[in-house]
């Protein structure tokens, strides 16, 4: 599979899932140049220091994925994206229906990319039953991805398990960002149920991977990130 022209070092997105701005800054300094792209989400948003951290990281030449999963009436989603579009972030997520994704895409400006969430990697077939979906996970992922493409989103969030079907039945133009990455094997960890390895994610056609706990909780986060970068480089050159 031909991969998009993206710097290999940017393909690793570290999920900065910590409680406060000081912890995030300390961890970023520890990681140094081993990580360029960071995901900051709801935990840091609720710390009250989200935009301080966003500005601080961008000033240090980091790329930022605002994983806020906007879900509200379309006008509110559109306004929220409009507020974010000039803050320097690279990605933002929308976790809603067609009209919400469309409103986000219409307000994203020239540099911010909107990503539609397909199915969270913490969900399995039983969870979809609980939510009232009568289709299988793969069908739901494909449906949401087609809608995202149709309304002007730049990409989707999808488990690496569904990426081959996305590439086959949707469109290779979409960016695909795959969370739930486990460097060693395909065993679930914590609340993640649909997981893949680094190698599987990229061989299946993902453009970026999101990795959190395997880096954050390692004895040496920097060494863990560097090892992942080596794996990515090897996969992209094979």
Annotation says 62 is catalytic: no
Among residues 9, 62, 63, 69, the one annotated as catalytic is 69
SS (H, E, C) the chain: CCCCCCCHHHHEEEECCCCCHHHHHHHHHHHHHHCCEEEECHHHHCCCCHHHHHHHHHHCCCEEEEEEEECCCHHHHHHHHHHHCCCCCCEEEECCCHHHHHHHHHCCCCCCEEEEECCCCCCCHHHHHHHCCCCCHHHHHHHHHHHHHHCCCCEEECCCCCHHHHHHHCCCCCEEEECCECCCCCCCECCECCCECHHHHHHHCCCEEEECHHHHCCCCHHHHHHHHHHHHHHHHHC
Residues involved in catalysis: 69
């Amino acid at each position: 599979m031909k991969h998009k022209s993206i710097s290999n070092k940017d393909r690793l997105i570290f999920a900065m899932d910590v409680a406060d701005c000081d912890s995030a800054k300390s961890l970023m300094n520890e990681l140094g140049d081993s990580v360029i792209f960071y995901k900051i989400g709801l935990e840091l948003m609720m710390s009250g220091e989200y935009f301080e951290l966003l500005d601080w990281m961008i000033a240090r030449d980091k790329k930022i994925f605002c994983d806020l999963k906007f879900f509200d009436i379309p006008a509110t989603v559109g306004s929220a994206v409009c507020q974010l579009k000039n803050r320097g972030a690279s990605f933002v997520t929308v976790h809603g229906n067609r009209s919400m994704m469309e409103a986000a895409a219409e307000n994203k400006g020239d540099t911010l990319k909107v990503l539609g969430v397909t199915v969270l990697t913490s969900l399995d077939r039983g969870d979809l039953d609980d939510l009232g979906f009568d289709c299988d996970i793969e069908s739901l992922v494909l449906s949401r991805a087609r809608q995202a493409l149709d309304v002007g989103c730049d990409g989707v969030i999808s488990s690496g398990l569904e990426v081959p079907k996305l590439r086959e039945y949707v469109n290779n133009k979409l960016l695909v960002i795959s969370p739930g990455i486990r460097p060693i094997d395909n065993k679930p960890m914590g609340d993640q149920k649909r997981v893949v390895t680094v190698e599987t994610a990229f061989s299946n056609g993902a453009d970026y991977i999101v990795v959190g706990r395997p880096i954050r909780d390692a004895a040496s986060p920097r060494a863990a990130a560097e090892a992942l970068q080596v794996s990515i480089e090897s996969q992209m050159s094979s």
